[in-house]
């Protein structure tokens, strides 16, 4: 299996950027998440396919979002994890316990569930007006890995049908 790397990363970050993100979200991030972002601050994954055994079609990650770095212009830009998290929480699209760190081509998120460490796919296009926001948020989530480590380890170069 090919080593997992993020290609075309943004500017390197310091631990202080991680600390700022943790302060914003109110949770400590998994060590493997921190290590990946200190090595490569976002980018295009070398293995991008999420294949689960739950009957759903494989999903492809288009990119991992960047953590805001000193010298970047606008921290509220949704290309940054912080900006995306703030906006999606303010608009009640995602619960505050989910941290969107990657996206697919349709704008859906791969999120770190900061309560239990699992990774969930979050479909932003499944909202129904006839149910509550909380019900929509629950229906939009699907666990794809029990941990960030497992998520990265199980990413595939191409889906096997």
Query: Tens-digit pLDDT profile for the chain (161 aa)?
Result: 568 999 999 999 999 999 999 999 999 999 999 999 999 999 999 999 998 887 788 899 999 999 988 777 777 788 899 999 999 999 988 999 999 999 999 999 999 999 999 999 999 877 788 878 788 788 778 999 999 999 999 999 987 76
Q: How many CA atoms lie within 13 A of 108 on its CB side?
A: 18
Of the candidates 68, 81, 109, the one whose C-alpha atom is nearest the C-alpha of residue 25 is 81
Pick the CATH number of 6-154 from 2.102.10.10, 3.40.1580.10, 3.40.50.1370, 2.40.160.10: 3.40.1580.10
pTM above 0.85, yes or no: yes
> What is the structure's pLDDT at 109?
96
Alpha helices in 104-147 (DSSP H): 133-139
Cβ 125 vs Cβ 103: under 8 Å:
no
The CA-based diameter of the chain, rounded to the nearest angstrom, is 45
DSSP 9: -
> What is the structure's pLDDT at 2?
66
Phi, psi of 146 (to 5 degrees): -80, -15
Cβ 41 vs Cβ 69: under 8 Å:
yes
């Amino acid at each position: 299996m090919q080593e997992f790397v993020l290609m075309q990363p943004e500017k390197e970050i310091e631990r202080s950027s991680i600390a700022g993100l943790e302060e914003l979200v109110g949770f400590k991030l998994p060590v493997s998440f921190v290590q990946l972002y200190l090595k490569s601050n976002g980018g295009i994954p070398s293995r991008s396919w999420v294949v689960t055994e739950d009957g759903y079609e494989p999903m492809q990650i288009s990119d991992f979002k960047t953590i805001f770095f000193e010298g970047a212009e606008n921290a509220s830009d949704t290309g940054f994890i912080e900006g995306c998290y703030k906006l999606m929480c303010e608009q009640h699209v995602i619960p505050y316990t989910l941290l969107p760190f990657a996206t697919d081509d349709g704008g859906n998120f791969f999120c770190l569930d900061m309560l239990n460490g699992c990774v969930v796919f979050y479909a932003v296009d499944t909202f129904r007006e006839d149910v509550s926001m909380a019900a929509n948020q629950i229906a939009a989530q699907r666990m794809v890995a029990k941990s960030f480590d497992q998520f990265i380890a199980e990413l595939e170069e191409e889906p096997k049908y």
